[in-house]
């Protein structure tokens, strides 16, 4: 590389007449880019084995997703990669938290094996909270010994989102040991602290937490920035925070802010894109294009200490994105390690497709154990109220609909029954509650994608359809199903840990779109009901959630009764 950089030997590739986005200086510089052995070795005039004339188009470093759960794409790693690389994403920092909650270290090793021979860079963070809480039943548990077996690996670059902020601020020894062991490796500890403020936030940061991607208001994000945190602005399918957080981006703060998707479903990946779509939306809203690109490139590279990506400069991997319009970014070409892998948002045919890594399915629940009856104890009930466009919920108290001494759904009031069926241990646990905000008028929807423990969740207007939908999920070894009049109307098998399909991302998109169409025909008002459904069992996001153990008041961090006086 030194000889190639000095011009003593020809470079492998020379990209000429490029307008380079310099993320260090904020300038746009017209020059040539010399590449050897997959790395940029210099800018300027070089002898080259191959030359490509970019004809004055812009070149940015490959985009980086600072925090993503690949499992939320509902496809395996290879199909996820093929969906995002055409949009200019050349590096992802993936938290395998979802599959780890189902399969533990076996799930993490599955993701590491699946990352081999991919055309983009895949780094993992070690899941910090498996299970996320003791208020649910997960498929596995990861302790400090499990962390120590992984944290020194090169491709494990951080401790993933520390959701157990009560454990941090109250000095839980297991939690603090994980943080300490990660910091001893000089690796980051990512945060997850929605709404945390004041002295509790100070305690959380003092423990060694570096970032947060759960901010939903500019006020919250600014408090965290002022206290030294890095902010990852999330724009996913279930949670979209970009518009609310735009006011925090200015010349002084921008270099401590990154983009992430967290969770994106197949239709968003294929129709909207990935990090490129966030850059586009930010620029449309008035953010300087170079600043928006810095937030997608050098910021996460420096944050995670990955020193050979994130910039168009000597010594950096030749991960490059080519486009013509700075203010209306549309990816035209993508280079990974100096090889052109995508053009006009199509992956090139010479890009190798790694063989699918196999893993056993995980489903341990019997259909004959399903009982969704709720004996009426009092006249009033706590209800989970959905907040449109967010994964947080509100807690309401309403009069129960009672029939023959049982609390039942009442679609006319948008009061639907919700249940979470434990699927890992065969315990027979079923949490039961009610939810408002779906709009379902008939039938039921069920899914084995249920953050974070990924038990089976079902929402419905009647018990019979709920049972049929759950039985379909069990039979598929995981997946999504819609039932009406005790018949399955649509389904999507997800046999990889009950989270991911073995099909192509386009096929999964089509099956999911059909499920959503069916859900809408049954009265659902939400744009993506299955994404919303998947977060209703997440007991680390306020205010009220349901797990297999019962209703969780997240602010109190405890199980509460469904019925109230």
Percent of the chain exceeding pLDDT 90 equals 91
Contact 347, 87 (CB under 8 A): no
CA–CA distance, 248 with 239 (Å, rounded to integer): 18
State mean pLDDT over 110-117.
95
pLDDT tens track for 261-274 = 999 989 999 999 99
DSSP 405-467: TEE--BGGGTBEEEEEE--SS----EEEEEEES----SSEEEES--TTT--EEEEESSHHHHH
Does the structure show a pLDDT above 90 at 483?
yes
CA–CA distance, 147 with 183 (Å, rounded to integer): 12
State mean pLDDT over 427-455.
96
Does the structure show a pLDDT above 80 at 367?
no
CA–CA distance, 148 with 72 (Å, rounded to integer): 26
Domain boundaries, the chain: 61-307, 367-564
Q: Rg (Cα) of the chain, in Å, rounded? A: 24
State mean pLDDT over 162-184.
94
The confidence band for 121, taking pLDDT boundaries of 50, 70 and 90, is very high
Q: What residues contact 11, with CB distance under 8 A and at least 6 apart? A: 4, 34, 35, 36, 41, 42, 46, 47, 48, 49
C-alpha atoms less than 13 angstroms from C-alpha of 233 in its C-beta half-sphere? 30
pLDDT at 91: 98
Does the structure show a pLDDT above 80 at 238?
no
CATH 3.20.20.140 matches 61-307: yes
Strands of the sheet with 211-212, listed across from one edge: 211-212, 230-234, 257-260
CA–CA distance, 460 with 372 (Å, rounded to integer): 10
pLDDT at 422: 97
pLDDT at 133: 82
With 0-12 CB in 10 A as exposed, 13-18 as middle and 19+ as buried, what is 485?
A: exposed
Does the structure show a pLDDT above 90 at 565?
no
Q: What angle do CA 362, 164, 109 make, to 5 degrees?
A: 35
CA–CA distance, 23 with 316 (Å, rounded to integer): 13
Does the structure show a pLDDT above 90 at 237?
no
The confidence band for 213, taking pLDDT boundaries of 50, 70 and 90, is very high
pLDDT at 388: 81
Does the structure show a pLDDT above 90 at 73?
yes
State mean pLDDT over 463-492.
97
């Amino acid at each position: 590389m030194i000889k190639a950089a000095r011009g003593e030997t020809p470079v492998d590739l020379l990209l000429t007449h490029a307008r380079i986005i310099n993320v260090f200086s904020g300038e746009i510089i017209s020059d040539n880019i010399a590449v050897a052995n997959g790395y940029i070795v210099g800018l300027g005039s070089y002898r080259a084995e191959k030359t490509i004339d970019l004809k004055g188009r812009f070149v940015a470093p490959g985009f980086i997703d600072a925090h993503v759960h690949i499992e939320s794409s509902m496809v395996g790693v290879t199909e996820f990669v093929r969906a995002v690389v055409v949009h200019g994403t050349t590096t992802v920092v993936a938290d395998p938290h979802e599959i780890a909650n189902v399969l533990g270290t076996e799930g993490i090793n599955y993701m590491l094996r699946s990352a081999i021979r991919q055309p983009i860079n895949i780094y993992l963070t070690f899941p910090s909270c498996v299970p996320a809480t003791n208020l649910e039943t997960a498929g596995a548990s990861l302790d400090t010994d499990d962390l120590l077996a992984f944290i020194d690996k090169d491709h494990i670059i951080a401790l993933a989102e520390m959701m157990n902020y009560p454990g941090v601020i109250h000095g839980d020894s297991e939690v603090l040991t994980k943080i300490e062991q990660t910091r001893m490796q000089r690796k980051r500890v990512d945060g997850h602290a929605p709404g945390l403020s004041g002295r509790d936030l100070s305690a959380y940061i003092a423990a060694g937490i570096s970032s947060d991607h759960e901010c939903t208001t500019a006020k919250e994000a600014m408090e965290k920035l002022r206290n030294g945190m890095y902010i990852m602005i999330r724009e996913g399918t279930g949670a979209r925070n970009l518009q609310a957080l735009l006011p925090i981006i200015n010349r002084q703060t921008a270099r401590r802010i990154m983009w992430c998707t967290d969770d994106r479903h197949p239709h968003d990946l294929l129709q909207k894109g990935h990090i490129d779509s966030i850059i586009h939306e930010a620029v449309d809203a008035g953010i300087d294009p170079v600043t928006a690109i810095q937030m997608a490139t050098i910021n996460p590279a420096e944050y995670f200490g990955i020193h050979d990506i994130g910039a168009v400069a000597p010594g950096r991997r030749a991960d490059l994105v080519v486009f013509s319009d700075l203010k209306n970014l549309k990816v035209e070409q993508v280079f990974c390690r100096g090889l052109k892998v995508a053009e006009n948002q199509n992956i090139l045919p010479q890009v190798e497709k790694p063989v699918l890594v196999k893993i056993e399915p995980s489903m341990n629940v019997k259909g004959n154990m399903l009982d969704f009856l709720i004996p009426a104890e009092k006249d009033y009930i706590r209800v989970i109220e959905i907040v449109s466009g967010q994964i947080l919920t509100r807690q309401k108290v309403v009069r129960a609909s009672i029939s023959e001494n049982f609390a039942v759904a009442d679609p006319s009031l948008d009061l639907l029954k919700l249940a979470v069926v434990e699927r890992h241990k065969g315990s027979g646990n079923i949490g039961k509650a009610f939810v408002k905000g779906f709009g379902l008028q008939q039938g039921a929807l069920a899914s084995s994608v249920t953050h974070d423990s990924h038990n089976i969740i079902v929402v419905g207007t009647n018990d019979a359809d709920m049972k049929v939908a759950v039985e379909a999920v069990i039979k598929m070894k995981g997946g999504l199903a819609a039932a009406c009049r005790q018949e399955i109307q649509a389904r999507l098998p997800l046999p990889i840990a009950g989270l991911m399909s073995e099909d192509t991302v386009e096929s999964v998109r089509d099956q999911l779109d059909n499920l959503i169409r069916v859900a809408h025909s049954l009265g659902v008002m939400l744009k993506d009901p299955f994404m919303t459904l998947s977060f209703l069992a997440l007991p680390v996001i306020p205010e009220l959630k349901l797990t297999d153990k019962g209703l969780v008041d997240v602010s109190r961090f405890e199980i509460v009764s469904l019925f109230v006086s």
